[in-house]
Amino acid sequence: MFSLPKRPGPYILALLLIVLGILTTWMLRVLTDPALQKAAQTKAGRTPPPPDPALQLIPARPTLADTTATDPVIVELHQEMTREDTSPERELEIIQDLLSQHNRALGPGTFGDNNDVTRALVGDTGDGIWLPRQSPRIRNGELLDRWGTPYWFHANGENSIEIRSAGPDKNLFTSDDVILNESPAGLGATPEQ
């Protein structure tokens, strides 16, 4: 019959090996996280290499790891945004809500175009994650509407940003565009009506 050792040495050794295994796994995961590598390079004064465009051609699907790092409310908003039964108008409201959360957490953002907005929402600026990097609505570094067309963003002032979907015809500034916070006609890049 097999008997367990009466001294604590083997138990302590087994426990230490388990803890060492867990720490090693955690450290490998942390050290290979692209966001942490980019933050470390930025802090050291180096700019990270540009992303490989060939890797951005493959539309990615969200995984459990992509969504567990963010707030459950944000995960819910992302899921609502990507559901087929969500209206296009609601999708724009969700994007506005995510941008508002970003601004509340980090102060007013300066967003130029779709790439800037997407980088901020996926945490490429190093300051939190509001959308999973592997969202089906992100391709080639841009946030896409339900028809696969990049959203158009235009600042209307310090606290307002126009968010425009090209709509089903996939052409911006046509009658089927879906718009939130429409800019006054002729303001910036908005054409005269």
Q: What is the DSSP letter of 47?
A: P
- As a whole number of angstroms, the distance between CA 38 and CA 48 comes to 6
Higher pLDDT pick, 57 / 83: 83
Predicted model pTM: 0.60
Residues 183-187 have a mean pLDDT of: 70
The answer to whether residues 59 and 136 touch, using CB atoms and an 8 Å cutoff, is yes
| C-alpha span between 70 and 155 (Å, rounded) | 26
**Which whole number is the average pLDDT over 137-164?**
87
Per-residue pLDDT tens digits for 90-144: 999 998 888 888 777 777 666 778 888 888 888 776 667 788 888 889 999 899 9
Torsion-angle region of residue 64: left (phi > 0), alpha (psi -120 to 50) or beta?
alpha
Q: What angle do CA 69, 70, 76 make, to 5 degrees?
A: 130
Task: Say yes or no to pLDDT of 78 above 60.
Answer: yes
* 189 phi and psi angles, rounded to 5 deg: -90, 0
| CA atoms within 13 A of residue 16's CA, in its CB half-sphere | 6
- State pLDDT tens for residues 19-77: 999 988 888 877 777 777 777 777 766 665 665 554 444 344 344 344 444 578 888 88
Class of domain 53-180: alpha beta
DSSP-derived pairing of the beta strands 160-165 and 152-157: antiparallel
Q: Which long-range contacts (CB under 8 A, 24 or more apart) does 141-149 make?
A: 141/51, 141/56, 141/115, 142/114, 142/115, 142/118, 143/95, 143/114, 143/117, 143/118, 145/88, 145/91, 145/178, 146/84, 146/88, 146/91
Q: Is the pLDDT of residue 190 over 70?
A: no
- 177 pLDDT exceeds 90? yes
